[in-house]
Amino acid sequence: MSDELKEIATELRRHLAWQESDGSRSILGERTAKTAAAAPVAKAPAPVAKAAAPVQQAKPAAPAIVKPPEAPIARRPLDEIRRELGDCQRCKLCNGRSTIVFGSGNPRAELVFVGEGPGEEEDRQGVPFVGKAGQLLTKMIEAMKFTRDDVYICNVVKCRPPNNRNPEPDEIEACEPFLKAQLASLQPKVIVALGKFATQTLLRDQTSITRLRGQWREYQGIPLMPTFHPAYLLRQPEEKRLAWLDLQEVMKRFGKKGQQ
């Protein structure tokens, strides 16, 4: 090492020794660290608040669709309604029928039974409920302390469906105006709807008959009691007990009491 460098090194050691005795130790590296530590930390800029999203107003609920009540049907004599029905060709049931089965009973009856449609025997005689199911209905009417001459009996469709099948929607639609006209003419105190098709047609309710039966409903302001069809009771005799409970409720409307 040259004399000049030795002299520089000696001066540097002296300078460091002086600084240590003074307690400052402010060499470049430490000074830089202390300066950096002492320097205020720059705060991150506050996040800019996002503009609040516009509050979407709830759309008003769509108004419930309320079907207007059916307009009352003009009251006309039963024989006039039968003449209007004529030799009906309004649906395909006319192709296989022997006769039209309009209805029978007391034209001033306070109790009306509405069934589904004519069967084979009804098609032959032109009278509703005269076959096996009709014989059971007669017993039911008599158990209620009425006779068939006291009541009126009719069906939703007036012609026999082939092979006693269920009536189809277009067939029901073709016959329905005449059923409604019959009920408007009779203005009974109570209607008993026998089975699914009579009940659903009159009430415009597709609920099953097992759930509807036994519960008072209304047709055009007339109390209506849904119950099982006699043909169903012939197939399921254990359900006669429930049907009898339904008919007892009807009897109460007429002030009659039945055996439990």
- Residue 46 phi/psi, 5° resolution? -60, 140
Continuous H helices in the chain: 3-22, 28-38, 78-85, 120-125, 132-143, 169-186, 195-203, 209-212, 230-235, 240-253
**Per-residue exposure over 65-90, b if at least 16 CB sit within 10 Å of its own CB, e if not:** eeeeeeeeeeeeebeebbeebeebeb
Q: Which two tokens stand for residue 216?
A: 């008072």
Boundaries of every domain in the chain: 101-253
**Structure confidence by residue, pLDDT tens digits, 209-241:** 999 999 999 999 999 999 999 999 999 999 999
Q: Is there a contact between 206 and 200 (Cβ–Cβ < 8 Å)?
A: yes
**Structure confidence by residue, pLDDT tens digits, 233-250:** 999 999 999 999 999 999
**Structure confidence by residue, pLDDT tens digits, 91-122:** 999 999 999 999 999 999 999 999 999 999 99
CATH number of 101-253: 3.40.470.10
DSSP-assigned states of every residue in 182-221: HHHHH--SEEEEEHHHHHHHHHT--S-HHHHTTS-EEETT
Q: How far apart are CA 234 and CA 231, in angstroms?
A: 5
Position 138 scores a pLDDT of: 98
